[in-house]
Amino acid sequence: MSQVRIVGGVKVLDFLGAFFDDLALYFDRNLSMVGAVDELYWCLGGSEALSIYTHIRRTGIYLLGVVPLLFKACASISMLNHGKALQAESIKMGVDSDVMVGTSLVDMYGKCGLLFDAQNVFDYMPERNVVTWNAMIGGYMRNGDLGAASFLFEKMSTRSAITWIEMIDGFASNGVTLTARQLFDQVPLELRNVVTWTVMVDGYASNGEMEAAKEIFEAMPIRNYFVWSSMISGYCKKGDVQAAKAIFDRIPKRNLVNWNSLISGLAQNGFCEEALDFFTKMQTEGFEPDEITVVSVLSACAQLGLPDSGKEIHQMIIHKGIKLNQFILNGLVDMYAKCGDLTNARLIFERMSKRNDACWNAMISGFAIHGQCKEALEFFGRMEASSEKPNVITFLSVLSACGHGGFVEEGLEIFLKMEKYGLIATIQHYGCLIDLLGRAGRVKEAYDLIKTMPMKPNDTIWGALLGACRIHSDLDMADRVLKEVGRDSEPCFSNDSHYVILSNIYAASDSWERAETMRTVMLDKGFQKTPARSSFVVNKKEMSFCATT
Express each pLDDT in 80-106 by its tens digit.
Answer: 666 677 767 677 666 667 788 888 888
Would you say 190 and 196 are in contact if contact means Cβ atoms under 8 Å apart?
Answer: no
Reading the chain (549 residues) residue by residue, the pLDDT tens digits are 333 332 233 333 333 333 333 333 333 333 344 444 444 444 444 455 555 555 555 555 444 456 666 667 666 666 666 667 776 767 766 666 778 888 888 888 888 888 998 899 899 888 999 999 999 999 999 999 999 999 999 999 999 999 999 999 999 999 999 999 999 999 999 999 999 999 999 999 999 999 999 999 999 999 999 999 999 999 999 999 999 999 999 999 999 999 999 999 999 999 999 999 999 999 999 999 999 999 999 999 999 999 999 999 999 999 999 989 999 999 999 999 999 999 999 999 999 999 999 999 999 999 999 999 999 999 999 999 998 999 999 999 999 999 889 999 999 999 999 999 999 999 999 999 998 998 898 989 999 999 999 998 887 788 788 878 777 777 778 778 777 765 434 444 445 555 555 555 554 444 555 555 555 555 555 545 555 555 555 555 555 555 544
Which CATH number belongs to the domain containing residue 111 in this structure?
Answer: 1.25.40.10
Tell me whether residue 85 is in a domain.
yes
Written as one letter, the residue type at 234 is G
Would you say 141 and 149 are in contact if contact means Cβ atoms under 8 Å apart?
Answer: yes
DSSP assignment of 399-458: HHHHHHHT-HHHHHHHHHHHHHTT----HHHHHHHHHHHHHTT-HHHHHHHHHH-SS---
Give the span between the Cα atoms of 430 and 450, in whole angstroms.
Answer: 8
DSSP assignment of 220-262: -SS--HHHHHHHHHHHHHTT-HHHHHHHHHH-SS--HHHHHHH
Tell me whether residue 69 is in a domain.
yes
Around Cβ 178, how many Cβ atoms within 10 Å?
11
Phi and psi, residue 265, nearest 5°: -65, -40
Around Cβ 287, how many Cβ atoms within 10 Å?
17
- Cross-strand partners of 543: 536
Tell me whether residue 407 is in a domain.
no
User: How many domains does the structure of the chain reveal?
Assistant: 1
What was the pLDDT predicted at 1? 34
Tell me whether residue 198 is in a domain.
no
Sign of torsion, CA 350 353 357 362? negative
What was the pLDDT predicted at 11? 35
- Cross-strand partners of 408: none
Q: 139-144: which pairs have CB atoms within 8 A and are 24 or more residues apart?
A: 139/106, 139/107, 139/109, 139/110, 139/111, 139/115, 140/110, 140/115, 140/170, 141/166, 141/167, 141/169, 141/170, 141/171, 141/173, 141/174, 142/110, 142/111, 142/113, 142/170, 143/110, 143/113, 143/115, 144/174
Q: Which domain holds residue 85?
A: 38-158
- Cross-strand partners of 537: 542
What count of Cα atoms within 13 Å lies in the side-chain half-sphere of residue 290? Answer: 9
Would you say 309 and 301 are in contact if contact means Cβ atoms under 8 Å apart?
Answer: yes
Tell me whether residue 44 is in a domain.
yes
What was the pLDDT predicted at 252? 95
What was the pLDDT predicted at 114? 87
What was the pLDDT predicted at 66? 61
